[in-house]
Structure 1
Amino acid sequence: MKLIIGNRVYSSWSLRGWLACKQSGLPFVEEVVPLYGEGWEERRAQGLLAPSHGRVPLLWDGETVVWDSLAILDSLADRVGADRFWPRPPAARALARAMVAEMHAGFAALRQQCPMNMRRRYADFQPDAAVRADVVRILTLWAEARARFGAGGPFLFGSFSAADIFYAPVVSRFITYGITVPGFAQAYMDAVWEHPWLQQWAAAAAAEPWIIAAFERKD
């Protein structure tokens, strides 16, 4: 399999697709295509990125081509079994699926005002009401998952799962923008950030040379 991703520093969707590939346990190679950099439009025109819109991540697996991070996760789950990605108890699995769907489609204010930036830390960020509402909703979801189904480990449903894959970029955003969270959420964020895969991604991000001004906050 080949996974095409964008800049590790900025591309939250690429991080999700990459974590899904790691969680699958299947061997894969990765290729970084710098977002909006040299050759970006040419690759789109040639159909080397997602056929519909030229976005990343994109998974090539033989004749199978899958874009969109959730579709990639679902495709991998079809190959290796859903239990590798989703909690087994029906009630836990239902909550996890709902949380992933909400993350996939929602939290527009947090996305727009706090773009993922793995190399920066902003000590003076002041979230507006819309961002605060997104943060409260996320913390509410985390609290429910941890309280109901998190007894088996430090992650949302105990062991690392699809829910953690989809909220990992949120953890990165909260760290970057200095979002204050209660103790249970900080412990969860620490577990995600210290996960070997997140550390691997962060180290690779730190080594990237590219800077996209549109994704950098003006100091």
Structure 2
Amino acid sequence: MKLIIGNKNYSSWSLRGWLACKQSGLHFDEITVPLYGDEWDSQRASNDLAPSHGKVPILWDGDAVVWDSMAIVEYLADKVGRDRFWPKADDARAMARSMVAEMHSSFFALRRACPMNVRMRVEGVTLGDDVRADIVRVLTLWAEARARFGGGGPFLFGTFSAADVFYAPIVSRFLTYGIGVPGFAQAYMQAVWEHEWMQQWIHAAQTEEWVIEQFEAPVK
């Protein structure tokens, strides 16, 4: 398999696709396409990216091509067994799937105001009411998952799962923009940030040579 991703410092959806591949336990090669670089337009039209209309991440597995991070999770779960990605119990699995779907389709205000930037730390950010509402919703979901199903470990459903794959970029955003969170959320964020795979991603992001200026300016 090969996974095509964008810059590790900025590309939240690439992080999700990459973590999904790591969670699968299958070998894969990664190819980085620098976002918005001089050759971005030509690379978007390349054979590797064309099936996804030039978006990342995109997974190639022989003749099979899978774009969209949620589709990548489901494709890999079909290959290696769904229990590797989803809780076994019906009630926990139902909540995990719902949380992933909500992350996939919501929180637009938070995404716009606080783009992912692994390397950056910003102090004194002023956030609008819509962004604060997204933050409260995320924390509410985390609190319920941890309270109901988190007894088996430090992650949302105990052990690392698709839910953590999808909320890992939110952890990065909260850290970048100094979002204050309650103690249970701090503990969860620390577990995600210190996870072996996240540390690999963070180290690679910190050593990348690419800088996208539009994502470097502090949020007003």
Compute the TM-score of the two structures, normalised by the length of structure 2: 0.97
Q: In the aligned structure 2, how far is the partner of 1:43 from the partner of 1:120?
A: 27
Q: In the aligned structure 1, how far is the partner of 2:39 from the partner of 2:64?
A: 24
Q: In the aligned structure 2, how far is the partner of 1:47 from the partner of 1:108?
A: 30
Secondary structure of the structure 2 residue equivalent to 1:15: helix
- Which position in structure 2 is the counterpart of 1:213? 213
- Which position in structure 1 is the counterpart of 2:39? 39
- Which position in structure 2 is the counterpart of 1:96? 96
Moved more, 34-43 or 4-13: 34-43
CA deviations 1:134-171 (Å, max 9, x no partner) are: 00000000000000000000000000000000000000
Percent of pairs with identical residues: 69
Moved more, 143-152 or 29-38: 29-38
Q: In the aligned structure 2, how far is the partner of 1:114 from the partner of 1:4?
A: 24
Deviation at 1:52, TM superposition (A): 3.8
- Which position in structure 2 is the counterpart of 1:4? 4
Secondary structure of the structure 1 residue equivalent to 2:151: coil
Deviation at 1:46, TM superposition (A): 2.7
- Which position in structure 1 is the counterpart of 2:150? 150
- Which position in structure 2 is the counterpart of 1:161? 161
1:49 maps onto 2:86 in alignment: no
- Which position in structure 1 is the counterpart of 2:86? 86
- Which position in structure 1 is the counterpart of 2:14? 14
Secondary structure of the structure 2 residue equivalent to 1:30: strand
**For residue 217 of structure 1, what is the amino acid of its counterpart?**
A
- Which position in structure 2 is the counterpart of 1:77? 77
CA deviations 1:78-136 (Å, max 9, x no partner) are: 00010000000000000000000000000000000000000000011121101100000
Q: In the aligned structure 2, how far is the partner of 1:66 from the partner of 1:57?
A: 9
Q: Is the 8 Å Cα contact of residues 122 and 218 (structure 2) preserved in structure 1?
A: no
Q: In the aligned structure 1, how far is the partner of 2:142 from the partner of 2:21?
A: 23
**For residue 17 of structure 1, what is the amino acid of its counterpart?**
G
Q: Is the 8 Å Cα contact of residues 56 and 68 (structure 2) preserved in structure 1?
A: yes
Aligned length: 219
- Which position in structure 1 is the counterpart of 2:113? 113
**For residue 24 of structure 1, what is the amino acid of its counterpart?**
S
**For residue 150 of structure 1, what is the amino acid of its counterpart?**
G
Q: In the aligned structure 2, how far is the partner of 1:162 from the partner of 1:74?
A: 9
Q: Is the 8 Å Cα contact of residues 100 and 166 (structure 1) preserved in structure 2?
A: yes
Off by >6 Å, runs of 4+ in structure 1: none
Q: In the aligned structure 2, how far is the partner of 1:52 from the partner of 1:72?
A: 12
Q: Is the 8 Å Cα contact of residues 50 and 56 (structure 1) preserved in structure 2?
A: no
- Which position in structure 2 is the counterpart of 1:200? 200
Q: Is the 8 Å Cα contact of residues 47 and 54 (structure 1) preserved in structure 2?
A: no
Compute the TM-score of the two structures, normalised by the length of structure 1: 0.98
Q: In the aligned structure 1, how far is the partner of 2:215 from the partner of 2:114?
A: 9
Deviation at 1:39, TM superposition (A): 2.1
Structure 2 gaps, min length 5: none
Matched ranges for 1:152-191 at <5 A: 152-191=152-191
Deviation at 1:218, TM superposition (A): 4.3
Deviation at 1:48, TM superposition (A): 2.2
Secondary structure of the structure 2 residue equivalent to 1:151: helix
Structure 1 gaps, min length 5: none
